[in-house]
Amino acid sequence: MDSTGITLAILSALFMGTIGVFSRITGLPAETITFFRLLLGAGFLAIFLLATRQAVALRRWPTWPVIINGALLAGFIIFYVQAMNLTSMANAIMLVYLAPVAASIFAHCFMGERLNFAGWILIGLAMLGFAAMMEFRLDFADGSNHAAGLGLAALAMLCYAGFILMNRRIRPHVPVMTRAFYQLLTGALVMLPFFLHSRPEITAVNGLWLLATGLIPGFLAITFAVVALSRLPAATFGTLAYFEPLAVVFFGWSLFGENLSVLQLAGCATIMASGCAKALLVSRTATP
Q: Is the pLDDT of residue 228 over 80?
A: yes
Q: Is the pLDDT of residue 215 over 80?
A: yes
Residues 141-172: tens digit of each pLDDT: 555 687 889 899 999 999 998 988 887 777 77
- % of the chain residues with pLDDT over 90: 33
Lowest average pLDDT, out of 60-64, 85-89, 153-157, 203-207, goes to: 60-64
Spatial CB neighbours of 175, under 8 Å, sequence gap ≥ 6: 57, 60
Q: Is the pLDDT of residue 77 over 70?
A: yes
Determine the pLDDT at residue 144: 61
> For the chain, what is the mean pLDDT?
85
Determine the pLDDT at residue 235: 62
Q: Is the pLDDT of residue 86 over 60?
A: yes
Confidence of residue 107 (pLDDT cuts 50, 70, 90): confident
- Distance between CA atoms of 25 and 33, rounded to whole angstroms? 11
Determine the pLDDT at residue 26: 92
pLDDT top residue among 148 and 278 = 148
Confidence of residue 285 (pLDDT cuts 50, 70, 90): low
Determine the pLDDT at residue 103: 84
Note the pTM of the prediction, 2 decimals.
0.86
Lowest average pLDDT, out of 15-19, 134-138, 228-232, goes to: 134-138
Q: Long-range contacts made by residues 275-280, C-beta under 8 angstroms, separation at least 24? A: 275/97, 275/100, 275/126, 275/238, 275/239, 275/242, 276/239, 276/242, 277/122, 278/100, 278/104, 278/119, 278/122, 278/238, 279/234, 279/235, 279/236, 279/238, 279/239, 280/235, 280/239
Q: Is the pLDDT of residue 115 over 90?
A: no
Q: Is the pLDDT of residue 245 over 70?
A: yes
Do the beta carbons of residue 148 and residue 38 sit within 8 Å?
no
Q: Which of these, 282, 20, 285, lies nearest to 156 by C-alpha position?
A: 20
Q: Is the pLDDT of residue 190 over 70?
A: yes
- Distance between CA atoms of 260 and 72, rounded to whole angstroms? 30
